[in-house]
Structure 1
Amino acid sequence: MDDKRNLIFAVLLTGLILFGWPYVASYFFPTPAPVTSTAASTASPAGAATSDVSVEAAPAKVQAVPIGTALQSSARVLVETPKLKGSINLEGAKIDDLVLLTHRTELAKDSAPVRLFAPSGTKNAYFARFGWAGTGITAPDDKTVWTPSGTKLTPSTPVTLSWTNAQSQKFEIALSIDDNFMITAKQRFINNNTAPVEIANFALLSRTGKPADATSGGSIFTHIHIGPMGVFDDQPNYDWGYVDVEENKGEASFTSTGGWLGFTDKYWLGALIPDQKTPVSAKFRASGDVYQAQVIPTRYNSVAAGAAYDSSSRLFAGAKEMAVLNAYSQDLGIPYLDYAIDWGWFWFIAIPFFWILHWLFGVFGNFGVAIIGLTIIVRLVMYPVAQKQFASMAQMRAVQPKLKALQERWKDDKPRLQQEMMQLYKEEKVNPLAGCLPILLQIPIFFALYKILLLSIEMRHQPFVLWLKDLSAPDPLTPINLFGLLPFDPPSFIAIGILPILLGVTMWLMQRLNPQPMDEVQKQVFAVMPWFLMFIMAPFAAGLQLYWVMSNLVSIAQQKWLYSRHPILREQMAREAQEKAQAKANAKA
C-alpha cells in the first residue's frame, strides 16, 4: 500500500474521531433513560429517608447583587489555606465564598484568582451546604444563623458551627480543611428532648447558571464532559449533562454505596463525598437556571432521647490537579475521583503520557521542552515499527514493475486483477497493509495528547519560549496582522500562527521525501493536504501543534536515515522520477 494512502487514511480517521464520533455515538448509542432510585420514585417505606430535602427553591429573577455586597450582608467565618481563600456564611452554614489562590483567571500574573464558589443572589452563585432531615425535629434550614467556635478555618484550626432548636435538640457541624481542596464535615445531632426522633444528614451543591462551554455531554469539538457527574456503586457516570437533567423532568436519581457526585467543569470540580460505607440516595436537580446535586442516606436513623447521632461527609472544592485527585482516591478511599478528568476513549494512553509529561516537566521546568521530550520518546518507542514500515515500502516499490504489468494485462478484468495481485504479494512475501500500522498507532497517541493538552490544568497558562506564553491556547502570533503590527485581531479561522505554518511546511517536506503517487487525483490531494491541515490545526492548543511539528521533524530525520539503510528504495524512487520526467518531456515533444 502506498504510504500516501496511509496518510489520507490517517487524516480521515483522525478527523472522524475528533469531530464525527459524538454524532455517531449519539445516533447509535443514545443516552439511556435514568434508573430512578426506589426511594425517589415510590412511597418511602418506614424508616426510609427521601433525597428531596430542605433544598433552596430557585430564586426569582432579580438583579444579581455584587459579590462584595453579598459578602457583607451576613456574619462569616474566614477560610484560609495555601490554595484556598474565602469564607463560610453563618446564615445557613453555607460554604459559598472560595477562590483558588494558585490559579488565575488570565495569563497575566497580576490577574485575579479563579473564583469557584459565590454567594446566593450573585450572578454565578455556587455553594455547598450540610444539613439534616427527619421526623419529630425542627431541623436547621438555609436561613438558620449558626454560632461558630472560631473566626477562621485553616488546616491547623478547625471550626465547629452549632445551633440549638426550641426543643433543646442541638446540631453541630465540625469543619476541617487540608492544605489542598478537601473539606471534612462531621455532623452531630444531640437529642436533648424526651422523645426519640428519626433523622438523616444530607449534603447539597447548588449553582446558578452553567459554564459557557457546557452542553448535554460535552462540546462536540472538545469531547469533554462538563456538568453533573458522579460515581455510583464503583462506576463513573458521564451520562448526564445539564440539558439532560432539564429534559428528564428536572431530575435524575441514583442509589449507591460509596462514590461521589457533583459538578465537573473543564478545570474545576465541586463534589459531595458521603460516607463510603453508607447506602445513599443521590440526585441531580434542575429548576430554571439553578442546578443542584444532593445526597442523603437511604434510611433514617433512630435517635433515642438523650442520645446522639454522628455522621461524616466531605466536600471537594478546587482544581482538578491530577496528583491531588489521585492522592485523595488512594489515601482517602474515594473511588475514581481522578475520573473527574474525562480522558476519553484513549485514557489508557493519556494517563501514562500525562505522568511522563509531568515527570519531564519536573526535569526541564518547561512544558514545551517536556512535549519535545515526549515526542522523541514516542518516536524512539515506535522506531521498530517505522523500520518495518520502510522495509514494507521497499518491498512494495520493488514489485511495482510487476504490478504495472498485471494492471496492463488484466485492466479489463478487475476480479482477476485482484486475484493476480494477491498471488503476487504472496509469492514476493509482501504485506500491502504493513505500512498502515505506524499511522494507526499514531492516531490514539495524537488523540490522547490532544486530551492532555485540552484538559490538564497543569498545562494551563504554561509558557514555552518567546511569544508562546500559554501552551494550552492556540499560537497567538499570525502573519495575517503582520505578527501584531496591524491593530486588529483576525477571525480565528484565518488566524494561522507560526506553529501551524511550520506544521504545514514540515508535512510538505515529509511528502517530498516520500515516493510520489502515480495517480493524478491522489497527487493533487497530497499537494493541498499540508496546507489544509495547517488551517485545521490553527485553533488547537499550541502544545499540540508543537508536538506535531516536532514529530514531523523527527520523522524527516528518521526517513533520511532509513533511506540510507534501504538504498534500493532510494534508487528506485530516483529511477521512477527520471522515467516520469522523460515521459513528460516526450509528451511535450
Structure 2
Amino acid sequence: MSLDWIYYAISWILLAWHGAWDAIRVPDTAVIGTNWAWILAIVFLVVTVRVILFPVFVKQIKSQRAMQALQPQVKALQEKHKGDRETLQKEMMELYRKEKANPLMGCLPMFLQIPVFLGLFHVLRRLDPANGGKTLYGWTVTQFESASAAKLFTAPIAGKFGSTADELARLGANGTTVKVIAGILVLMMMGTTYLTSRQMILKTGWAEDPQQRMIQKLMLYGIPLSLLISGAIFPIGVIIYWVTNNLFTLGQQQWVLRKFPPPPTATSKPVTSTRNPVQPAKLGGLLGRGKPAPQAPAKPVAPKIAGPKPGAKPANPKKGRPAKRQG
C-alpha cells in the first residue's frame, strides 16, 4: 500500500504554515542560527493534527474513566478466578464488552499519530541538497532548497545525531553542533514522553487488570527508554515535532483532568477523621507544655436511697416527727 497520500498531506500542511508565517514576515533567514518560519511550521503541524484528533482524545478520556469505574469488578473477578488465567481473561473481556469499555482505547491517539510521525520522518529525510533539482511531494525547487537549508541553532532540521560525515557535509553542518542539539532534544523527548504517561497514571491510578497495568508500565517506562536508542536516527525536525506534541498533550490532559476530575470508584469511601477527639485535659496539656489543665471541682452527688425490698413493711413516715400540741 502506497503511503504517498500521507507524504503529500504532511507536505501540504508544512508548506501552508510556512507560507502563513512568511506572509506575516517571520524571518525565513537564520536569526540566532534558526530559520523560525520552518520551525514554527513544524510546531503548528502538531497543532493541526491535535485539533483534528481532539474528538479521539475525548473518547480516550471517557474510556479511561470507564476502565477506572470497572476496577472493583475486575478485582472481584481476579479473586474469584485466582489461578485460572484463561477463565479470568474470558470473564474480563465479557465485562468490557458488556460495559462498552475498550482497554486499548488509551493508546489510540498515539497509534493514530504514528502515520503523521512516519510521514514527517520520510519528508525530512528527503531534504538532502543532493536532491535539490527534484520536487518533493508538491514542493517547488525553491521551497525544497529553503527547507533543506533550515536550521535550529545552526543544526539543520534534516540532520540527526547519527548523521554520517557525508550527510553532514552535504547539509553544511558541524558534526559536534548537530550531536549537541540532537542530544538535548532526545533527552527532552524522553522526559516529556515519561511525564505525559505519569500525569495520566497519577490522576487515574494504576489499573487492577494485569493487561492494563502492563500497558501502563510500557507507556511509562518502555517507550521513553526505547527513545534513547531510536532517537539517534530521528531528524531534528522530527524530534521538534515529538517534543511539541508531548507538551501539547501535557497541557491538554491537565486542562481536561482539572475541568473534569476522575469520578470516585465504587469502593471509595468519604474520608473521615479517625482521630479521637481531643479531651480538654489533653488539650490543656498541649497548650500548657505538658501541665494538666485545671479541672472544675466535681459537684456533690446525692446518695441513692434504696427502695424497700419486696414484702417488707413500709417505713413509718411519722416516726421521728414531733408530736402535735394538744389544744
Same fold (TM over 0.5): yes
CA distance in 2, matches of 1:351, 1:405: 51
Indicate conservation of the 8 Å contact 1:475/1:498, yes or no: no
Kindly provide the amino acid, as one letter, of the partner of residue 362 in structure 1.
G
Q: 1:508–1:444: structure 2 CA closer, same or farther, 3 Å change rule?
A: same
Q: 2:324 aligns to what?
A: none
Instruction: Name which of 554, 562, 572 aligns with 2:256.
Output: 562
Instruction: Name which of 497, 512, 518 aligns with 2:198.
Output: 512
Q: 1:109 aligns to what?
A: none
Considering only aligned residues, what root-mean-square deviation do their CA atoms show, in Å?
3.2
CA distance in 2, matches of 1:385, 1:468: 37
Residue 4 (structure 2) pairs with residue 347 (structure 1): yes
Kindly provide the amino acid, as one letter, of the partner of residue 359 in structure 1.
A
| Structure 1 residue 496: Cα displacement | 5.4
Instruction: Name which of 433, 446, 460 aligns with 2:148.
Output: 460
Q: 1:371 aligns to what?
A: 42
| Structure 1 residue 547: Cα displacement | 0.2
Indicate conservation of the 8 Å contact 1:500/1:535, yes or no: no
Indicate conservation of the 8 Å contact 1:500/1:537, yes or no: yes
| Structure 1 residue 524: Cα displacement | 6.3
Q: 2:56 aligns to what?
A: 385
| Structure 1 residue 350: Cα displacement | 1.4
CA distance in 1, matches of 2:55, 2:103: 18
Q: 1:449 aligns to what?
A: 120
Indicate conservation of the 8 Å contact 1:473/1:541, yes or no: yes
Unaligned runs of 5+ in 1: 1-343, 477-487, 579-589
1:134-145 correspondence to structure 2 within 5 Å? none
Kindly provide the amino acid, as one letter, of the partner of residue 88 in structure 2.
L
CA distance in 2, matches of 1:361, 1:491: 23
Q: 1:557–1:363: structure 2 CA closer, same or farther, 3 Å change rule?
A: same
1:166-177 correspondence to structure 2 within 5 Å? none
Indicate conservation of the 8 Å contact 2:159/2:178, yes or no: no
Instruction: Name which of 381, 393, 407 aligns with 2:78.
Output: 407
Q: 1:498 aligns to what?
A: 184
CA distance in 2, matches of 1:359, 1:382: 19
Instruction: Name which of 243, 254, 258 aligns with 1:549.
Output: 243
CA distance in 2, matches of 1:495, 1:382: 30
Indicate conservation of the 8 Å contact 2:158/2:235, yes or no: yes
Bigger strand share: 1
| Structure 1 residue 567: Cα displacement | 1.3
Q: 1:496–1:364: structure 2 CA closer, same or farther, 3 Å change rule?
A: closer
Deviations 1:343-382, CA, capped at 9 Å, x for gaps: x842211101101101211221411110001110100100
Instruction: Name which of 513, 524, 530 aligns with 2:224.
Output: 530
Structure 1 length as normaliser, TM-score?
A: 0.34
Deviations 1:48-102, CA, capped at 9 Å, x for gaps: xxxxxxxxxxxxxxxxxxxxxxxxxxxxxxxxxxxxxxxxxxxxxxxxxxxxxxx
Instruction: Name which of 426, 441, 461 aligns with 2:97.
Output: 426
Q: 1:490–1:468: structure 2 CA closer, same or farther, 3 Å change rule?
A: closer
Aligned residues, how many? Answer: 217
CA distance in 1, matches of 2:43, 2:70: 38
Q: 1:390–1:495: structure 2 CA closer, same or farther, 3 Å change rule?
A: same
CA distance in 2, matches of 1:504, 1:370: 22
| Structure 1 residue 439: Cα displacement | 2.5
| Structure 1 residue 565: Cα displacement | 4.2
SS of 2:156's equivalent in the other structure is coil
CA distance in 2, matches of 1:532, 1:416: 34
CA distance in 2, matches of 1:377, 1:495: 25
| Structure 1 residue 474: Cα displacement | 2.2
1:203-352 correspondence to structure 2 within 5 Å? 345-352=2-9
Structure 2 length as normaliser, TM-score?
A: 0.58
CA distance in 1, matches of 2:256, 2:177: 42
Kindly provide the amino acid, as one letter, of the partner of residue 253 in structure 2.
Q
Q: 1:523–1:424: structure 2 CA closer, same or farther, 3 Å change rule?
A: closer
Q: Using CA pairs below 8 Å that are at least 6 residues apart, which structure has the higher relative contact order?
A: 2
SS of 2:112's equivalent in the other structure is helix
SS of 1:411's equivalent in the other structure is coil
Indicate conservation of the 8 Å contact 2:196/2:250, yes or no: yes
CA distance in 2, matches of 1:345, 1:497: 33
| Structure 1 residue 491: Cα displacement | 12
Q: 2:277 aligns to what?
A: none
Kindly provide the amino acid, as one letter, of the partner of residue 554 in structure 1.
F
Q: 1:496–1:352: structure 2 CA closer, same or farther, 3 Å change rule?
A: closer
| Structure 1 residue 443: Cα displacement | 1.2
1:37-76 correspondence to structure 2 within 5 Å? none
Instruction: Name which of 141, 156, 166 aligns with 1:470.
Output: 156
CA distance in 2, matches of 1:532, 1:426: 33
Deviations 1:451-498, CA, capped at 9 Å, x for gaps: 11111452312124xx2441111269xxxxxxxxxxx95997x99522
CA distance in 2, matches of 1:424, 1:522: 19
Kindly provide the amino acid, as one letter, of the partner of residue 94 in structure 2.
Q
CA distance in 2, matches of 1:393, 1:521: 15
Moved more, 434-443 or 371-380: 434-443
SS of 1:567's equivalent in the other structure is coil
Kindly provide the amino acid, as one letter, of the partner of residue 98 in structure 2.
E
CA distance in 2, matches of 1:386, 1:441: 11
Q: 1:359 aligns to what?
A: 16
Q: 1:513–1:468: structure 2 CA closer, same or farther, 3 Å change rule?
A: farther
CA distance in 1, matches of 2:47, 2:192: 16
| Structure 1 residue 404: Cα displacement | 1.1
CA distance in 2, matches of 1:355, 1:367: 13
CA distance in 1, matches of 2:191, 2:20: 30
Indicate conservation of the 8 Å contact 1:391/1:566, yes or no: no
